[in-house]
């Protein structure tokens, strides 16, 4: 996978959630695939596995906010799982950690949303 590409993989969670595994950077160049994929699960619990995302830029951060709002609007819920220390720091600096449900692992997010 090229350094500036994002790979997305769907998995089913143990409690009926949809898990979208993100592999690669979330940037303005890659956010459209994430946005489009997230639309497929906006009415159900959605977990974004960020454990393999090395960094997120401001445009992609805005997209995460849009996905969260869209999920809420359609009766779903969004959880972020496994963020790296860089992503965690970004969420804290922007106070978005108060808006998003953030869990250390996918298993923790699955348990919380079951």
Model confidence pLDDT, tens digit, residues 64-100 = 999 999 999 988 899 999 999 999 999 999 999 999 9
In the structure encoding, which two tokens stand for residue 46, read together?
A: 């959605």
The pLDDT of residue 43 = 73
What string of DSSP letters covers 63-98? HHHHHHHHHHHTT-EEEEES--HHHHHHHHHTTGGG
Domains held by the chain: number: 1
**Structure confidence at residue 53 as a pLDDT band (50, 70, 90):** very high
Tens digits of per-residue pLDDT, 13-41?
A: 888 899 999 999 999 999 999 999 888 88
**Domain of 33, in residue numbers:** 7-104
Q: Which residue has the tokens 């590409």?
A: 5
pLDDT for position 3: 62
In a domain, 18, yes or no: yes
Q: Angle CA(93)–CA(3)–CA(27) in degrees, nearest 5? A: 40
In-domain check, residue 47: yes
Coil, helix or strand at residue 14: coil
41: in domain: yes
CATH code, 81: 3.30.750.24
């Amino acid at each position: 996978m090229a350094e500036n590409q994002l790979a997305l993989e769907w998995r089913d969670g143990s409690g009926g959630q949809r898990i979208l595994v993100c592999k690669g950077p979330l940037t303005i160049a890659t956010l459209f695939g994430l946005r489009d994929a997230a639309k497929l699960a906006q009415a159900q619990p959605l977990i974004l596995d960020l454990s393999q995302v090395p960094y997120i830029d401001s445009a992609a951060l805005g997209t995460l906010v849009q996905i969260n709002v869209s999920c809420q609007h359609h009766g779903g819920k969004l959880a972020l799982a496994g963020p790296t220390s860089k992503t965690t720091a970004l969420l804290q600096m922007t106070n978005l950690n108060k808006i998003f449900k953030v869990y250390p692992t996918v298993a923790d997010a699955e348990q919380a949303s079951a």
